Structure 1
Amino acid sequence: MTERNIAKVLSKNDTGETGGHQAGILVPKDEGILSFFPKLDATQYNPRCHLRFLDNSGSSWEFVFIYYNNKLFDGTRNEYRLTRMTKYIRLAGLVVGDEIILSYDGNRYQISHRRQRQAALNESGVLKLGSGWRVVQI
């Protein structure tokens, strides 16, 4: 299996600055991004997978990849999220515009981050909108 990498520029919602109550970071329904994560069984109600990531210092973090699919069960939600990341984001001191990088080498998941406050702004100083996710080619 080849190494897979994805990255996400953090938004105010991701860092908790909006005070919103949504759990975790929204993961777009983009096949390139979703293929990073294990497949979830959409016939189950809100299927999830617990994933253990190692950071650069060797600390272990457990995040949860979940498909909130209650729209398929007479609800309203139909979205993927990566949850239980708040502690990592806070302890790393990450802020809006910083980027998390998730890697998988076939054996283990890893997480790192990069400070990119400047990169989130365009030339006129306006925040760029979008999901902030991208597939990283190494």
Structure 2
Amino acid sequence: MEQPRTQAISKILSANDTGETRAHQAGILVPKNDKILSFFPNLGKEVKNPRTVLIFEDIAGEQWKFNFIYYNGKFFGGTRNEYRLTGMTAFIKRNNLRTGDKITFHRLSDDKLLVKHQRMSETTKDNSSILKLGNNWKVVNL
């Protein structure tokens, strides 16, 4: 039996996500968590690095194209085995998002996606300047 699709997910942004570290990275890492991954289209292992473009709308009605990619080189003689959400730099810059801010993705229907962001106050950032190893993704219960 197929698991129902998660309708909303959020992530507290890291310095790597926002580009504040000035280090190159290929998008925001998406954890291999069934509930988080069920928000996104299924990307198989049959082809190397399958991807899909997801078109999100923000609350102002502007559309943003993000890429959901499964870097699966591990199955093709390489080492990578991770999911990433890329193409978000313009959205992050336009909204001046910083470490500790939250981005939320909503699935309004099969073909309508919404992206929102929330500036987190200094008191709610939960010591975000401290390096945290772990997962800042959450399933949002609507």
Question: Aligned partners of 1:75, 1:3: CA distance in 2, in Å?
Answer: 30
RMSD: 1.8
In the other structure, the counterpart of 2:9 is: 6
In the other structure, the counterpart of 1:63 is: 66
**Aligned pairs for 1:6-85 within 5 A:** 6-85=9-88
Q: Which residue, out of 108, 123, 126, partners 1:121?
A: 126
For residue 77 of structure 1, give the secondary structure of its aligned residue in structure 2.
Answer: coil
- Which contiguous aligned blocks of 4+ residues in structure 1 show a shift greater than 3 angstroms? 125-129
Which consecutive unaligned segments of at least 5 residues does structure 1 have?
A: none
After superposition, the C-alpha distances for 1:88-126 in whole angstroms (9 at most, x for unaligned) are: 00000110000000000223011000112433325xx85
Amino acid of the structure 1 residue aligned with 2:23: G
Question: Aligned partners of 1:88, 1:69: CA distance in 2, in Å?
Answer: 26
Question: Aligned partners of 2:63, 2:56: CA distance in 1, in Å?
Answer: 6
Give TM-score, length-normalised by structure 1.
Answer: 0.91
Which consecutive unaligned segments of at least 5 residues does structure 2 have?
A: none
**Matched-pair contact (CA < 8 Å) for 2:6–2:35:** no
**Matched-pair contact (CA < 8 Å) for 1:3–1:105:** no
For residue 20 of structure 1, give the secondary structure of its aligned residue in structure 2.
Answer: coil
Give TM-score, length-normalised by structure 2.
Answer: 0.89
Number of matched residues? 136
Q: 1:43 to 1:114 in 2, by over 3 A?
A: same
